[in-house]
């Protein structure tokens, strides 16, 4: 078999992996979509990715499965209810999201409250407790995160979550620096964060595109709406995931960017429909999508292929 035939075969096989849901059926979305977006979110987050560990308060040092290191000095933790100093062990719950599929399934889209597009090098959520009592950082204390990255971007800023989007926080929440060499405080080459509270944080920067933005619209058959369907634009070459919602499912996207559009609909609380289309954004693009019945495993496999 010659090289040209092999290339053609591999091309069509790759399409089968990325877009496995192109078949049609006799489903009527005007009467058959009885699920909600809550059912979709529950399905996407079925797999528990939270890392849980008990750590002595006087030796708070933890390395995650993605080589993120967390460290805090002694006497850093107090109870939220009365401000008393914590002793013994405390329980850490840590979520870290680096890939596009992780952000889509578990995190917060990479967009600001005023709809500016941002690019992420990691979203993180920390929660600390002892028994059923919540724990916070003591005044003037900080927790340090060393985030591994072989090619850190010195334009990155620290963002915090607000209404399922992000806002830059300056020094309000903490600080972020590019770490080129390990030292006593930051042990990984990448990003060094010092946080003064526990909440969703994001390593982000405002993406600068070479081409202007244009209105991009997604059209679905009658019956698909914001109550039963989620739509995302997942950039091919950048770590960007943004939601497409509102009247007409439209957003302002950069011309000539390659984007995968993802539509997930809830037929019921445990049955779903899915479509994915890869396009290059053109001026005033309108894209038609038609979700077809897909299993939970098919949807998750397709989302993973976007990373």
Tens-place pLDDT, residues 142-162: 999 999 998 999 999 999 999
Tell if the pTM clears 0.85, that is, is over it: yes
Residues 170 and 26 in one domain: no
Q: What is the pLDDT of residue 222?
A: 94
Q: What is the pLDDT of residue 181?
A: 65
Is the pLDDT at 13 greater than 80? The verdict is no
Q: What is the pLDDT of residue 185?
A: 61
Sign for the CA dihedral angle at 116, 117, 121, 126 comes to positive
Mean pLDDT of the chain: 90
Share of the chain above pLDDT 90, in %: 82
Among the three residues 156, 176, 206, which one is the final residue of a domain in this structure? 206
Residues 300 and 289 in one domain: yes
Residues 177 and 130 in one domain: yes
- Strand-pair partners of 148: 190
Give residue 139's domain range. 51-206
Tell me which residue has tokens 């000539």: 256
Cβ-contact 116, 202 below 8 angstroms = no
Among the three residues 148, 173, 206, which one is the final residue of a domain in this structure? 206
CATH number (domain holding residue 26)? 2.60.40
Residues 230 and 110 in one domain: no
Q: What is the pLDDT of residue 1?
A: 53
- Residue 283 domain-assigned (yes or no): yes
- Residue 6 domain-assigned (yes or no): no
Residues 198 and 216 in one domain: no
- Residue 161 domain-assigned (yes or no): yes
- Residue 5 domain-assigned (yes or no): no
Residues 201 and 252 in one domain: no
Among the three residues 171, 206, 241, which one is the final residue of a domain in this structure? 206
- Residue 142 domain-assigned (yes or no): yes
- Residue 221 domain-assigned (yes or no): yes
Cβ-contact 306, 102 below 8 angstroms = no
Share of the chain above pLDDT 70, in %: 89
- Residue 9 domain-assigned (yes or no): no
- For range 279-306, the mean pLDDT: 97
- For range 122-127, the mean pLDDT: 96
Nearest 5°: phi and psi at 275? -150, 150
Residues 170 and 71 in one domain: yes
Q: HEC string of the chain?
A: CCHHHHHHHHHHHHHHHHCCCCCCCCCCHHHHCCCCHHHHHHHHCCCCCCEEEEEEHHHEEEECCCCCEEEECCCCEEECCCCCECCCEEEEEEEEECCHHHHHHHCCCCEECCCCEEEEEEEEEEEEEECCEEEEECCCCCEEEEEECCCCCCCCEEEEEECCEEEECCCCCEEEEEECCCCCCCCCCEEEEEECCCCCEEEEEECCCCCCEEEEEEECCCCCCCCCEEEEEEECCCCCEEECECCCCEEEEECCCEEEEEEEEECCCCCEEEEEEEEECCCCCEEECCCEEECHHHHHHHHHCCC
Residues 127 and 109 in one domain: yes
- Residue 24 domain-assigned (yes or no): yes
Residues 213 and 297 in one domain: yes
pLDDT in tens, 205-224: 999 999 999 999 999 999 99
Is the pLDDT at 104 greater than 80? The verdict is yes
Is the pLDDT at 297 greater than 90? The verdict is yes
Residues 70 and 36 in one domain: no
- For range 258-284, the mean pLDDT: 97
Q: What is the pLDDT of residue 247?
A: 60
**CB-based contacts of 247, cutoff 8 Å, min separation 6:** none
Residues 201 and 216 in one domain: no
Domain total of the chain: 2
Residues 189 and 245 in one domain: no
């Amino acid at each position: 078999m010659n090289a040209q035939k092999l290339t053609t075969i591999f091309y069509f096989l790759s399409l089968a992996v990325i877009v496995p849901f192109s078949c049609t059926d006799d489903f009527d979305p005007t009467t058959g979509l009885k699920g909600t977006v809550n059912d979709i979110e529950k399905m996407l987050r079925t797999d528990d990715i939270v890392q849980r560990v008990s750590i002595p308060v006087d030796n708070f040092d933890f390395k995650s499965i993605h080589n993120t290191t967390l460290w805090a000095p002694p006497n850093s933790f107090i109870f939220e209810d009365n401000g008393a100093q914590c002793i013994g062990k405390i329980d850490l719950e840590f979520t870290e999201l680096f890939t596009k599929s992780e952000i889509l399934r578990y995190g917060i889209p990479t967009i600001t409250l005023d709809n500016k597009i941002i690019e992420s090098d990691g979203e993180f959520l920390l929660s600390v407790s002892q028994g059923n009592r919540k724990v916070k950082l003591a005044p003037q204390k900080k927790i340090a995160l060393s985030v591994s990255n072989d090619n850190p971007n010195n334009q990155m800023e620290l963002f915090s979550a607000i209404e399922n989007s992000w806002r830059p926080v300056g020094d309000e929440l903490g600080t972020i620096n590019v770490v080129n060499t390990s030292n006593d405080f930051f042990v990984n080459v990448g990003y060094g964060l010092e946080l003064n509270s526990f909440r969703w944080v994001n390593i982000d920067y405002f993406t600068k595109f070479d081409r202007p933005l244009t209105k991009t619209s997604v059209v679905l058959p009658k019956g698909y709406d914001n109550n039963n369907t989620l739509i995302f634009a997942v950039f091919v070459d950048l770590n960007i995931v943004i939601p497409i919602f509102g009247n007409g499912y439209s957003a302002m996207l950069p011309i000539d960017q390659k984007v995968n559009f993802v539509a997930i609909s809830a037929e019921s609380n445990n049955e779903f429909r899915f479509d994915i289309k890869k396009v290059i954004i053109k001026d005033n693009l309108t894209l038609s999508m038609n979700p077809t019945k897909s299993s939970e495993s098919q949807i998750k496999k397709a989302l993973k292929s976007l990373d």
